[in-house]
Chains A and B, each alone.
Chain A
Amino acid sequence: MNPIKTILREIFGLFVDDGTFALAILLWLFVVRTLSPHLGNASAWSGPILFFGLALILIESAARYSRRRTLK
């Protein structure tokens, strides 16, 4: 295989092994970025809101994997 292709695939693999999981993280960052200027008084908690979304994505992805893995 082309060595450049191999290196690029390895680098991509550092960040993405489950496409849905990676996409959900990026979508959540986009949502927070879009909504954060409109949070008003709640903006003091915009950092924790970012964390809670990521936490939910992590739990959902791990639970989905465990369910899928067992059904195989």
Chain B
Amino acid sequence: MGIGWAHIGTSITASFLASLVECVEALTVVLAVGSVRGWRSALIGSASAIAVLLLIIAALGTALTHIPLHILQLTVGTLLLLFGLRWLRKAILRAAGLIPLHDEAAAFSKNTAAMRQHGNLPAAWDKIAFAAAFNITMLEGTEVVFIVIAIGAGRAGTLLPASLGAVAALLVVTALGFILHRPLARVPENTLKFIVGVLLSAFGTFWVGEGLHLQWPAADWSILALIAAYLLLALATVPLCRNRSQTVASIP
């Protein structure tokens, strides 16, 4: 059976949204670095990290083709489950008000203040700006690379749609960064993280099931059922956590 729209559509969407979240977080720090220490070193730092990540993708992409599919599905699916369920749990706890929401404007102010503490700017080459931009792009970019591989490696033909989703997110965020020159604080990042947690958990469950040779009642379409099931589960767990914390708090 070839890959259908259930896989292509969900691969692009999951990869785009997950990469969008990571790119927005990286952009905030790069903007803080660039606006305080200068754009040249900050942009070279980010570009260098992207170049390193592309080399890693090229190397991993070649290596992945030599691994038997069910082993790849089981390994990648397990890692994706750990990653996706961790993300979804955090999103549920954020939505329940138990851990603070992520605030890009606050992150920008914090990073701007940190950059100012490093003192005077050198004339041409700023090692601090380069290192800060390189590190954040590598860190968030590594997550993007993992997400793309994890979403795309479970089935032949889905790596390209997953990669396209990530590239589209990078282009959108870069373009908005160039136009606005400020952090994308109005992006509903916490809602996106909730949705991405649902999508990654669904993909992880499906790939692990395939790797273990488990049966899905609707074959490939089960991935859509898993997305719906995780979404309902997460939405139902939010008030449960909220009520539970209120009940415990009211016990004298």
B-contacting residues of A (Cβ < 8 Å)? 10-11, 14-18, 21-22, 25-26, 29, 32-33, 36, 43-51, 54-55, 57-59, 61-63, 65-67, 69-71
Contact = CB atoms under 8 A, between A and B. Distances in A.
Nearest to B241: A66
Shortest Cβ-Cβ A-B pairs, 8 listed: A46-B214, A47-B216, A66-B241, A15-B82, A70-B245, A70-B248, A66-B245, A47-B209
A22 B214 CA distance: 21
A30 B54 CA distance: 34
Contacts of A48: 216-217
Contacts, number: 119
Interface of B: 78-79, 81-83, 85-86, 88-90, 92-93, 96, 98, 139, 142-143, 146, 201, 205-206, 208-209, 212-217, 222, 226, 229-230, 233-234, 237, 240-242, 244-246, 248-249
Grouping DSSP codes into helix (H, G, I), strand (E, B) and loop, the B interface class, with mixed when no group exceeds half, is: helix
Contacts of B217: 44-45, 47-48
Given A10-B139, A50-B209, A70-B249, A62 B93 contact: yes
27 contacts: A14-B143, A15-B86, A18-B89, A21-B86, A25-B81, A25-B85, A26-B78, A29-B78, A29-B208, A32-B212, A36-B212, A36-B214, A45-B217, A46-B209, A47-B205, A47-B214, A54-B81, A55-B233, A57-B85, A58-B85, A59-B240, A62-B93, A62-B96, A66-B96, A70-B245, A70-B246, A70-B249
